[in-house]
Amino acid sequence: MNLTTNSLICQWEPGPDTHLSTHFTLKSFKSRGNCQTQEDSILNCLPNDGQNHCSIPRRDLLLYQNMSIWVEAKNALGTSKSPQLCLVPMDVVKLEPPTLWALAPSPEVAPPQPGCLLLRWEPWKPSLYIEQKCELRHQPQLGEDSWVLVGPLLSQTLQYELCGLLPSTAYVLQMRCTRWPLPGQWSDWSPSLTLTTAQRVPIVRLDTWWRQRPLDPRTVAMQLFWKPMPLDKYSGQIQGYLVRAPNQTEAVPPLCNTTELSCTFHLPSEARAVVLVAYNTAGTSHPSPVVFLESTGPPLARLHIEARDPHSLWVGWEQPSPRPRGYVIEWGLGPPSPSGSNKSWKMENNGSISGTLLQENIRPFQLYEITVTALYQDTVGPSQHIYAYSQEMAPSRAPELHLKHIGKTWAQLEWVPQAPELGKSPLTHYTIFWTNAQDQSFSTVLNASSHGLVLHSLEPASLYHVHLMATNKAGAANSTSLTLMTLALEESELHVLLGLFGFLLLFICLCGATRFCCRPSRKNPLWPSVPDPAHSSLGSWVPTIMVEETFQLPSIRDPGMTPITKITVLEEEEKKPGPRESNDSSGTCGLPTLVQAYVLQGDPRAPSNQPRPPSITSDQVLYGKVLGSPTGPGPGHYLRCDSTQPLLGSLSPSPKFYENLWFQTTPLDTPESLVPNQEDDCVFGPLLDFPLLQGLQVHGVEGLGGI
């Protein structure tokens, strides 16, 4: 029941969709008792298309009489009715929400206490004569706290003091009302009202620090700094600060009355303390005495800085003895900024710490001056200073290179170091690079205090490109390139160099020729290799029992032959040598017995006029011819000897060995093959039965020389 429109509004759920055109009709009648009997019918109410509600006007209603209401639905398949609802129109009345106001202080009304609000409301005018009750709900304007419900509030009071709230906090409030004690429905919530609770006096601790500057012997200019540290989360909001002299009455103007966090004032030189308070409309905080102590305590040691990120600096120190009660840390822009301008500071009341993190007013690429002072019980220590960057930049440019002097193989360079730049750390070193015309690069590193360098070992009349790189902790920068050319050599110097080069080339050629001639493959054609009997291994296998015969060679012999002075015949058991193929295509013949002999030649120093046979192969082959008996000449018998034993062709043995040696004897027509053992001596078969060995003729092939 809406008293504003004087109509009874009914609404319903249409039920499941029948996919057919359906028409709804709201029907009702007046009744007495429990709606079992119908007295007067009420006109049907037809809703608009698509609507599920309909209003019965006031003229068809009796506000305090029962009435029965239902809905009838009809489509092509039939008709359906809803259950009937029996009610009294005034039992379902819904009032309009009240209007909520703040109760202003007046002489009759005391101001609210901290954490309280004074409220009043005005009911909806058409419902002024209806008994009703109301509910109030509130929540902080900031935050996500839920609504808090307060009630019921009777309409006769029309004002209420709401307490238990946070001081100095803004709240949102709403109110609704309903008919009471008779049945009714709650009105909608009223429009929101925002009020702020009364604040409390500031509950803070004021950390203070100061700087003083004498103006004259009797007056000191004092600059006082402070920071409020709330001691209670419900502390009142600070509106200003007062600085007074000790025991100063409120009638006397204060030294400072400011809303800032610092103040400058003058004091007599003998004054040693002031009092600082914070205030708001609720009152003042507890006074904080400020005592100006003398700097007589021990200083800090080993102050150091570490950049954690571009917007913070870690300041560390070593604790002095005795342990302080706290520390004051100040920081601000370093030179060339004015001293003391826009400095930040903080106080650490824990004397056992050895460092703190600075995060306020720290920017990269800025030089900061950090000051740390130790606070003791009755004194302070001297301030310690340090400079640091939170983040540094690389040098913007390197100094320009200049050529001072130049020679044929050297060049002297110089540069002017640049002045320090703000936001850039000092240089750590220089690096000079130079490149020749063949794109060969060279470099050298110099310390940051250098301002010149001499390049050595350059080539005369050559072009070079040189540049300088300046480096600091954050990076490096290059200078522009300098191009220079060394001086050319003079004519006399060129002649000396050409002479030295020619001498060196001649020396290399001589060394190469000597090495070529001394190679083993080239040595035999120049120096024959002759077996050396003195170094034969025959003695290692000669038996202890030997038959020794001496032959007297006749004087009739070939004067070109080498004389045989001694033949030793060794008796050995019979051994069949393997067949070998003769070089003269004469066939081979096995020997019945194997006789080993060592032939001692004549004096190797004796000259020989026998011509040297031409070289046939690379193998060294010797042919020996044994002449027939003195009774008459006969056919010769040739034997071959394979040996690695060098023959003596001169005083020094030849370094080359002969591989093949053949002997031919006169008595036999068939050449016999001499099979060498694996030693350095020849082994040849018996010369059969001959009365006397008349001579041994040796023919050499390639390298025998005068034999």
The per-residue DSSP string of 111-162 comes to PPPBT-EEEEEE--GGGTTS-EEEEEEEEESSS-PPPEEEEEEETTT-EEEE
What average pLDDT does range 686-691 have in this prediction?
42
* Three-class HEC string of 208-261: EEEEEEEEECCEEEEEEEEEEEECCCCCCCCCEEEEECCCCCCCCCCCEEECCC
- Lowest mean pLDDT across 94-108, 110-124, 513-527, 596-610: 596-610
Cα→Cα distances 666→259, 583, 687, Å:
146, 18, 9
Place 33 in a pLDDT band, splitting at 50, 70 and 90.
Answer: confident
Lowest average pLDDT, out of 96-110, 240-254, 299-313, 360-374, goes to 96-110
Closest CA to 622 of 600, 601, 597, 641: 641
In this prediction, residues 673-702 reach a mean pLDDT of 44
The mean predicted confidence, pLDDT, of the chain is: 76
Tell me, yes or no, if the pTM score tops 0.95.
no
Give kind and range of the element (H or E) at residue 597. Answer: strand 596-601
When comparing pLDDT for 540 and 102, which is higher? 102
Query: Which amino acid, one-letter code, is at 539?
Result: G
Q: Between 433 and 84, whose confidence is greater?
A: 433
pLDDT at position 591: 39
Q: Give DSSP secondary structure letters for 568-596.
A: EEE------PPP---TTS------SS--E
| Encoded amino acid at 40, one letter | D
pLDDT band of residue 372 (cuts 50, 70, 90) is: very high
Q: What is the pLDDT of residues 178-192, one digit of tens each?
A: 888 888 889 999 999
Query: Residue 443: is it exposed, middle or buried by C-beta count within 10 angstroms (0-12/13-18/19+)?
Result: exposed
pLDDT band at 468 (very low <50, low <70, confident <90, very high): very high
- The C-alpha atoms of residue 435 and residue 418 are separated, in whole angstroms, by 25
Q: Give the per-residue pLDDT at 525.
A: 57
pLDDT score recorded for residue 523: 55
* Beta-sheet pairing, 283-284 with 99-102: unpaired
Predicted confidence at residue 217, as pLDDT, reads: 83
**What number is the average pLDDT over the span 116-129?**
83
Is it the case that residue 617 has pLDDT exceeding 50? no
d(CA 454, CA 547): 92
Contacts of 309 (CB under 8 A, 6+ apart): 390, 391
**Per-residue pLDDT averaged across 438-456, rounded?**
92
**For position 621, what pLDDT does the model report?**
41
Question: Is omega for the bond preceding 559 within 30 degrees of 0, making it cis?
Answer: no
| 596 or 140, which is more confident | 140
Provide the β-strand partners of residue 24: 73
Q: Is 647 exposed, middle or buried (0-12, 13-18, 19+ CB in 10 A)?
A: buried
Percent of the chain beyond pLDDT 70?
72
End-to-end Cα distance, the chain: 158
SS3 24: strand
